[in-house]
Amino acid sequence: MKRLIVLLLVFAGLCSCSQVTKKNVFIEKESFGTTADEKKVDRYTLSNLLGMKVVIITYGGIITHLYVPNATGGLNDVVLGYDSLSDYEKGSSYFGALIGRYGNRIANGKFKLDGVEYTLVQNNGKNHLHGGTKGFDKVVWDASSSIENDKAVLKLNYLSKDMEEGYPGNLKVEVVYALTKDNKLEVEYKATTDKKTVLNLTQHAYFNLSGAKDILNHELMLNAPSYLPVDENLIPTGEIASVAGTAFDFTSSKAIGRDVLKEDIQLERGLGYDHCWVLDDSNKGLRSAAILKEINSGIQMEVFTDQPAIQFYSGNFLDGTNPMKQSDSLYNYRSGLCLETQHFPNSPNESSFPSTELSPGEVYSTKTQFKFILLNRF
């Protein structure tokens, strides 16, 4: 009789176990300290069964670590970052951060909306860059996490008040990071305003797929037949130029180091690549914008977006002063590169560029995804 009861219990246990669906993704939360002005910051780790792990802090919505499988069976952390919160607070390189309200430059920090001129913080010479001195990269976001449809989801919310850094309108922003079970990091941006404003949100992760001292051996393909030449202050001239026959042609995959030292006034102005490529729009909506690969690590990252453009920045302002995480070293010149999906820089002052205005009643909604796979090297 006893034996029968034990058997029945084991059977019942097996039945209930088989009803528990297998978890493919996981979320952990811990404290990441407090900011200089005493705000609590949390750190979330989203992971999946394949080993991919994304670490995000609520300060700036910063991706501090991004571990992806490499060709030798280990994991590579493929983004640049710091160890401490105070380094992120001090930093001016926008490592891993969410950027807003306006990613990239606005000439002279000024623009007009319905005849009213607005003056923004000038934090890049005369220009306004990446939302100002206290942009979305330097604020603490409200966070909540959940597991939805096999995705580990982190929702970040921030209210940017009317006239913050000079921008009109109370802007409610939501950014949702999601890690899928098949090594894709999805980023979705949403925003609404109570007064007409301008907006260009992006993500400023610096990638280095191998951890080598610079990214010059990384191969890049950009699905972009044209780019925006810039003036001496890195403001687009207004021309949309064909990449054909120039160092800016990444329509076929090539090493970043191949043409970066070519004599070219645009490369001189950018100190390398620091330009906005206009994406091929033949197939609007979420589409492949860029493929980055590094042969030694065997890692390939593909970027999908519904945005009209991508800023490819080859880390030209990294000057050996930023402390490297988990190391005593410093980040060198070109030790990371950014692929910032976005609208064109300075659009509020260029009527020929696609509009970046947002009016009350409208919902700003965009998507970008980073998909990691292993290269077939043999």
Could you list the residues that contact ligand GLA (CB under 6 A)? 93-94, 104, 129, 234, 274, 311, 313, 317, 338, 340
133 contacts 127 by C-beta, under 8 angstroms: no
Find the shortest distance in angstroms from Cβ 144 to ligand GLA.
29
- Given 165, 219, 340, 350, the catalytic residue: 340
Measured CA to CA, the distance from residue 107 to residue 124 in angstroms comes to: 10
- Residue at shortest CB range from ligand GLA: 313
Q: Does the annotation mark 204 as catalytic?
A: yes
Question: C-beta of 155: minimal distance to ligand GLA in Å?
Answer: 26
Of 65, 128, 204, 275, catalytic: 204
In the bound complex, what is the minimum distance in angstroms from residue 129's beta carbon to ligand GLA?
6
Structure tokens at 310: 């991508």
Provide the token pair at 272.
Answer: 């390398």
**Cβ closest to ligand GLA, residue 25 vs residue 338:** 338
Task: Check: CB of residue 274 under 8 Å from CB of residue 314.
Answer: yes
Compare residues 94 and 304 and give the one whose CB is closer to ligand GLA: 94
- Least separation in angstroms between residue 91's CB and ligand GLA is 10
CA-based nearest residue to 301, from 274, 330, 268, 338: 338
- Could you tell me the two tokens for 368? 């970008």
CB of 253 to ligand GLA, least distance (A): 22
User: Is the Cβ of residue 219 or residue 274 nearer to ligand GLA in the bound state?
Assistant: 274
CA-based angle 153:63:48, to the nearest 5?
45
Task: Output 137 or 294, the one with its CB closest to ligand GLA.
Answer: 137
- Contacts of 140-145 with CB under 8 Å at 24 or more apart are 140/35, 140/39, 140/40, 140/41, 140/58, 140/59, 141/58, 141/59, 141/60, 141/61, 141/98, 141/175, 142/58, 143/42, 143/44, 143/58, 145/27, 145/29, 145/44, 145/46
Q: Three-state SS for 85?
A: helix
53 or 275: whose CB is closer to ligand GLA? 275
Hey, which residues are catalytic here?
A: 204, 340
